[in-house]
Structure 1
Amino acid sequence: MTLPTPTLIIEIDRQQPLPIYLQICERFRTAIASGHLRPGDRVPALRGLAMQLSTARGTVELAYSILVDEGYLQMRGAAGTFVSPTLPASVMRSPRGQGPQDRQAQPGDEGTGPLNSPDASRGGQPAPRQLAIAVAMSGEPRPLQPGLPALDAFPSKVWDRLVAQRARSGGRAMLAYPDPAGYRPLREHIATYLGLSRGVTCVPEQVFITGGYRATLELVLRSLARPNDRMWFEDPGYLLARGFLVETGVQLVPVPVDGEGIDIERGTRLDPEARFALVTPSHQSPLGHTLSLARRIALLDWAEKASAWIIEDDYDSEFRYAGRPLPALKSLDRRDRVIYCGTFSKVMFPGLRLAYAVVPERAVERVARVAHSMNAGSPTLLQAAAADFIRHGHFARHLKRMRALYAERRMLIVHALEQAFGERLIVDLPPGGIQFAVQLPEGPDGPADDVAVAARARELGLAVLPLSIWYANGRAPRTPRGLVIGFANIADAGEAGRLARTLRACLDG
Structure 2
Amino acid sequence: MSLFIQSVQLKPGAKTALFRQLYAAIKQAILTGALQPGMQLPPTRDFCRALAVSRQTVLNAYELLLAEGYLLGEVGKGTYVHHQLPACSETKSLSAPSPVAQGENAPGLSQRGLRYADTVGQSHVHQDKTRVFRVSMPGLDAFPFDTWARLEARRWRHHEDKLGYSDSAGYQPLRELLAVYLKASRGVNCHAGQIIITSGSQQALYLLPTVLLDPGDAAWVEYPGYRGAIAPLLAAQVEVCPVPVDVDGLDVAYGASHYPHAKLVYVTPSHQLPLGMTMSLQRRLALLAWAKQQRAWVIEDDYDSEYRYNGAPLASLQSLDQSGNVIYVGTLSKVLFPGLRLGYMVLPEALVQPMLQAKTIVDKHTGIVPQMVLTDFMAEGHFGRHIKRSRKLYAQRQAALLHALDTTLKDELSCAASDGGLDLAVHFRRERDEQAVVQAGLAAGIELRGLSYYAMPTVLPAPANFLPGLLLGFSSVTEKEIAQGAAGLLQVLRTLK
TM-score (norm 2): 0.74
Counterpart for residue 66 of structure 1: none
Q: 1:467-502: CA deviations, max 9, x gaps?
A: 12322538979631211011012223x322211111
1:116-155 → structure 2 map (5 Å cutoff): 119-121=111-113, 123=115, 125-126=117-118, 130=121, 134-135=124-125, 137-155=126-144
Aligned to 1:312, what secondary structure does the other structure show?
strand
1:218-229 → structure 2 map (5 Å cutoff): 218-229=206-217
Q: 1:180-236: CA deviations, max 9, x gaps?
A: 211111111111111111111111111001111220112222322222221000001
Aligned to 1:340, what secondary structure does the other structure show?
strand
Aligned to 2:425, what secondary structure does the other structure show?
strand
Distance 1:478 1:289 in 2: 15
C-alpha deviation, 1:139, in angstroms: 4.5
Counterpart for residue 242 of structure 1: 230
Distance 1:263 1:138 in 2: 35
Distance 1:339 1:138 in 2: 30
1:134 is aligned with what amino acid?
A: H
Counterpart for residue 305 of structure 2: 317
Aligned to 1:421, what secondary structure does the other structure show?
coil
Distance 2:139 2:488 in 1: 21
Counterpart for residue 502 of structure 1: 488
Distance 2:465 2:185 in 1: 39
Distance 1:299 1:267 in 2: 10
Q: 1:90-139: CA deviations, max 9, x gaps?
A: xxxxxxxxxxxxxxxxxxxxxxxxxxx963255364589x47x625x454
Q: 1:291-324: CA deviations, max 9, x gaps?
A: 1111111100111111110000000011111110
Counterpart for residue 395 of structure 1: 383
Q: Is the 8 A contact 1:231 1:274 kept in 2?
A: yes
Counterpart for residue 14 of structure 2: none
Distance 1:196 1:124, change over 3 A: closer
C-alpha deviation, 1:384, in angstroms: 0.4
Q: Is the 8 A contact 1:473 1:479 kept in 2?
A: no
Distance 1:299 1:145 in 2: 32
Aligned to 2:304, what secondary structure does the other structure show?
coil
Aligned to 1:423, what secondary structure does the other structure show?
coil
Matched, 1:414 2:402: yes
Counterpart for residue 457 of structure 1: 441
Aligned to 1:390, what secondary structure does the other structure show?
helix
Counterpart for residue 452 of structure 2: 468
**Runs of at least 5 residues in structure 2 that lack an aligned partner in the other structure:** 1-108
2:111 is aligned with what amino acid?
A: D
Distance 2:405 2:222 in 1: 28
Q: Alpha carbon RMSD of aligned pairs, Å?
A: 2.0
1:370-385 → structure 2 map (5 Å cutoff): 370-385=358-373
C-alpha deviation, 1:239, in angstroms: 2.3
Counterpart for residue 72 of structure 1: none
Aligned to 1:354, which of 330, 337, 342?
A: 342
1:243-322 → structure 2 map (5 Å cutoff): 243-322=231-310
C-alpha deviation, 1:462, in angstroms: 2.5
Counterpart for residue 150 of structure 2: 161
Q: Is the 8 A contact 2:133 2:482 kept in 1?
A: no
Distance 1:168 1:124, change over 3 A: closer
Matched, 1:485 2:472: yes
Distance 2:260 2:118 in 1: 30
Aligned to 2:135, what secondary structure does the other structure show?
coil
Q: Is the 8 A contact 1:441 1:481 kept in 2?
A: no
Equivalenced residues, count? 384
Q: Is the 8 A contact 1:235 1:472 kept in 2?
A: no
Aligned to 2:241, what secondary structure does the other structure show?
strand
Distance 1:381 1:241 in 2: 27
C-alpha deviation, 1:244, in angstroms: 3.2
Distance 1:496 1:140, change over 3 A: closer
Distance 1:373 1:222 in 2: 12
C-alpha deviation, 1:158, in angstroms: 0.6
Matched, 1:430 2:414: no
Of all paired residues, the percent bearing the same amino acid is 40
Distance 1:478 1:203 in 2: 41
- Kindly report structure 1 stretches of 4+ aligned residues shifted beyond 6 Å: 474-478
C-alpha deviation, 1:378, in angstroms: 1.6
1:502 is aligned with what amino acid?
A: G
Q: Is the 8 A contact 2:275 2:417 kept in 1?
A: no
Q: Is the 8 A contact 2:275 2:416 kept in 1?
A: no
Distance 2:269 2:113 in 1: 29
1:45-194 → structure 2 map (5 Å cutoff): 119-121=111-113, 123=115, 125-126=117-118, 130=121, 134-135=124-125, 137-172=126-161, 174-194=162-182
Aligned to 1:436, what secondary structure does the other structure show?
strand
C-alpha deviation, 1:459, in angstroms: 2.5
C-alpha deviation, 1:341, in angstroms: 0.3
Q: Is the 8 A contact 1:260 1:289 kept in 2?
A: yes
Q: Is the 8 A contact 2:417 2:424 kept in 1?
A: yes
Distance 1:223 1:246 in 2: 14
Counterpart for residue 45 of structure 2: none
1:506 is aligned with what amino acid?
A: V
Distance 2:469 2:292 in 1: 37
State which drifts further: 227-236 or 241-250: 241-250
2:143 is aligned with what amino acid?
A: F
Counterpart for residue 209 of structure 1: 197
Q: Is the 8 A contact 1:121 1:248 kept in 2?
A: no
Distance 1:221 1:139 in 2: 31
